[in-house]
Amino acid sequence: MAADLKEGIWRLADPKISITSLASMTIGGSVAARDGYLLWEWHGILLLALFFMEVAKNAWGDVYDYDSGTDLAVLPEDRTDFSGGKRVIVDGLLTRADTWKVAFVFGLMGLALGAFIVFVREPSVFWIGAGGLIVGWSYHGPPLQFAYRGLGELAVVFCYGPVIALCTYLIQAQVYSMEVFWLAMPLGIFIAAFLWVNEFPDFLADKQANKRNMIVRLGKQLASRILPVIYLTGFILLAAIPMLTTLDVWIWLGFLAVPFALTACLWTWLNPDDFYRSRPVQPFTLLAFVIYAAGAGTGVLVGG
């Protein structure tokens, strides 16, 4: 039982879950470093707070996906390392009550660190953090349940784009930055594209459980045609950022993500029904947003 508990918590705390937050922090942190504000201790505290909240979000999300039946309906051949849920309840690693306890403990630790940041470093981060928390809860949690209403993708753009990046900069510089906002928007779009392809393997299970995300609403064929539009929107915005802000064209190093995005779009377009069984589309979409964050962040520092 102890081994199952440990494995269940580890599965909920999968280090992959921190990549999205870290990518957004890279955007905010790179602009803060350029402006001479970067304090690594506060960067680390925020990263730890976000990690705790990600674990909590995974835990309560697993409960709601279990209760709705979507995790129970995922076929073994449709499970991947990036989709199908954490399945700690379905696989018997944690009970429903244990999973709620994990959500509560990690959520409490995340909130405690958030309160420390608010009271010791920057009070105004409370408002944007509270907004992110509400949206994060509402991804799975009632009454809004964005993931079940076709709004989960937009919630991801909001949280993993401007919210985390702006919080990162605000904690460092103690002021807001529209440069961070604009630079984080393509990242939020690319992370939403990552979510988009991760919803394909769960299509039948989500449809059966009435989890009406955008892939269920559109169908795989049409959704595969929209994926390139999502990426094109992000890259067009990246191209326009030097005209919208004082950021240098060096941020166009973010275009290094294009080959990965383009390949993922092609594979999804050609085989929307089960590309995930033969092609690494999900890892490629993950690499696309990671390389964008690293490239654009490096561009900020090089461009000065």
pLDDT in tens, 165-191: 999 999 999 999 999 999 999 999 999
pLDDT at 173: 94
Burial category of 72 from C-beta neighbours within 10 Å (exposed 0-12, middle 13-18, buried 19 and up): middle
Nearest to 104 by CA among 47, 55, 56: 56
Amino acid at 44: G
**pLDDT tens per residue, range 31-85:** 999 999 989 999 999 999 999 999 999 999 999 999 888 888 888 888 888 887 7
CB half-sphere exposure, 68, CA atoms < 13 A: 25
Average model confidence (pLDDT) across the chain: 93
Classify the phi-psi angles of 252: left when phi > 0, otherwise alpha if psi is within -120 to 50, otherwise beta: alpha
11 and 279 Cβ atoms separated by less than 8 Å: no
Total domain count for the chain? Answer: 1
Beta-carbon count within 10 A of 2 CB: 6
Mean pLDDT of 234-245: 96
Structure confidence at residue 74 (pLDDT): 87
Residue 277: exposed, middle, or buried by beta-carbon count in 10 A (0-12, 13-18, 19+)? exposed
| Contact in structure between 280 and 81 (CB atoms under 8 Å) | no
Please check the confidence at residue 123 and state whether its pLDDT lies above 70: yes
Contact yes or no for 204/75 (Cβ under 8 A):
yes
Residue 253 reports pLDDT greater than 90:
yes
Q: Which pLDDT value is given to residue 3?
A: 53
Burial of 168 (0-12, 13-18, 19+ CB in 10 A): buried
Residue 18's pLDDT band (boundaries 50, 70, 90)?
A: confident
Q: What is the DSSP letter of 162?
A: I
pLDDT class for 2, splitting at 50, 70, 90?
A: low
Q: What is the pLDDT of residues 176-231, one digit of tens each?
A: 999 999 999 999 999 999 999 999 999 999 999 999 999 999 999 999 999 999 99
Residue holding tokens 């201790």? 41
Residue range(s) defining the domain that contains residue 144: 2-303
pLDDT of residue 1: 46
What CATH number is given to the structural domain containing 199? 1.10.600
Q: Evaluate if residue 304 carries a pLDDT over 80.
A: no
Look at residue 278 and tell me whether its pLDDT is greater than 60: yes
